[in-house]
Chain A
């Protein structure tokens, strides 16, 4: 057995864990190897010193100091913090829990945003509503693509601009032609502006404000002075240019033998012969926003229709206007409240 192997067994020799044969071999080696013998002596001395070490006494005041520390900790952390237990959990549990919480938050946010007043309004908007302004329009088609129609088409602004240019070039022609267009379909600009009306405007339009209520009352009071007047009718008119629209409405009222009772900021109160109400509404419909059905038609078609209204229709309308204008003021009249929305 070489010296290295003998020295590796010093601990076993000391603790008497060697077999008798191993012990005999090592002792034989030690008897012949002075180096290993010296090594063993040093090892035994080290072990002797190690085992001779006494335990050190605990310093005085160990326990009172311990209690003091415990009290200090208690004061510093009187109760367990809310999240303390959470921080003790391993990441293996915490991460999935956090992920689930995040997903739940996202779904909650989506749910809440879906049922916000704005969304409610949008839902309402998609419902078919009886439009007093357009009799030619198809509200069913409006339901199909409610949001598409609310976006202004890219081609539309160009059309509007070209139309405005045309108007500038031919102002007189425009005046005559504009009226004719309104009988068929409203102008494209009006259409675009009408579609840009936001929900806020809508809400204010549908909810009668106290101010409007007083105006309505005043209108009714005035209406009382008018013989055989019918109950009040209401209309909402979407316009792009207020001044222009008012002047156009004035003209239409005159054509139907009516009179303007009152003009407020956004409210017009008009008295008209009852028989001409439906025609008057049609006429006003031309000024107002078009139905969704019209908005869905390709812009080219609109342009064709706007530029070249059929001649028989134009003549028919003019004839009807003359008829209505010819009628006397004796017939029963109806007060119409027109709310203008820009």
Chain B
């Protein structure tokens, strides 16, 4: 849920002045988006929650530096991506993901679930619960390179335009399209490996 641009601008200005109520409104409007981006990038609900909270703390601390209120969303996404990259590096160093494989049980909102076996010929709605497919996708995303995951999450899960992604990642549109296609094909291969 997002307010009109004028209201948004007013909220951001109030937040810059230290208004906690305005900050709360901003958090409520964007928490789901930030949390989901973090979850898709990290694949862990608890880590995603912590990271999303850190993102909003950073926003509150540095919102004074934001010059153009109209670019608040892009700025917020950039902060989230930076936090995600740092957190990913930290978790990778601690070999957080090394013990996991596609066959391991996967964490969901309701707890762990058994793996989903990929078969493109099957109808997913009939063979598996939708939730398990989502978790399988999540698992597949974590197998990809970080930059590929970013592209897939931003474009196919979060629905950013190529222009927005280009501004966020500072890449030309053509590069983004080709890299995104490569990421999609790699994800397909990862999911197919499970089936065979």
Binding site for B on A (CB under 8 A): 7-8, 10-12, 41-43, 45-47, 49-59, 62-63, 65-66, 69-70, 73
Chain A, residue nearest B27 (CB): A63
**Of B28, B133, B138, B188, which contacts A63 at CB under 8 A?**
B28
Contacts A52-B130, A63-B24 given; does A47 touch B184 at CB 8 Å: yes
**In whole Å, how far is B171's beta carbon from the nearest beta carbon of chain A?**
16
Whether the Cβ atoms of B181 and A10 lie closer than 8 Å is yes
* Closest beta carbon of chain A to B45's beta carbon, Å: 7
Interface-lining segment among B11-19, B29-37, B83-91: B29-37
Residue positions of B touching A, CB distance < 8 A: 24, 27-28, 31-33, 35-36, 39, 45, 48-49, 52-53, 56-57, 60, 109, 120-121, 124, 130, 133-134, 136-138, 152, 156-157, 177, 180-181, 184-185, 187-188, 191-192
Chain B interface secondary structure, helix, strand, loop or mixed?
Answer: helix
Instruction: Report the minimal beta-carbon distance from B70 to chain A, rounded to whole angstroms.
Output: 24
User: Closest CB of chain A to B129's CB: distance in Å?
Assistant: 12
Q: Given contacts A11-B184, A59-B35, A65-B49, list 19 more A-B pairs with CB under 8 A.
A: A12-B177, A42-B192, A43-B188, A45-B120, A45-B124, A47-B156, A49-B136, A49-B137, A50-B156, A51-B156, A53-B137, A56-B36, A56-B48, A58-B32, A62-B53, A63-B24, A65-B53, A69-B53, A69-B57
Of A8, A50, A52, the residue contacting B187 (CB under 8 A) is A50
A-B contact pairs, 6 of them (CB 8 A): A11-B177, A43-B185, A45-B120, A53-B157, A62-B52, A66-B56
CA distance A46 to B45 in the complex (A): 23
Q: Is the CB of B152 within 8 A of A11?
A: no
Q: Shortest beta-carbon distance, A88 to chain B, in Å?
A: 11
Given contacts A10-B181, A63-B27, is CB(A54)–CB(B134) below 8 Å?
Answer: yes
List A contacts of B36 (CB < 8 A).
55-56
**When the two chains form the complex, which single residue of A8, A62, A65 contacts B181, counting CB atoms closer than 8 Å?**
A8
Q: How far is the CB of A334 from chain B (nearest CB, A)?
A: 86
Is A11 touching B134 in the complex (CB atoms < 8 A)? no
User: Does B49 contact A46, Cβ atoms closer than 8 Å?
Assistant: no
Determine if B49 and A62 form an interchain contact, defined as CB atoms under 8 angstroms apart: yes
Ranked nearest first, the 9 interchain pairs of A and B with the lowest CB-CB distance are: A11-B181, A45-B120, A46-B188, A50-B156, A42-B120, A53-B134, A66-B53, A55-B36, A58-B35
A54 nearest in chain B by CB position: B134
B28 to chain A: which residues have CB within 8 Å? 63
Residues in chain A near residue B130, CB distance under 8 A: 52, 54
Which of A10, A52, A54 contacts B185 (CB under 8 A)?
A10
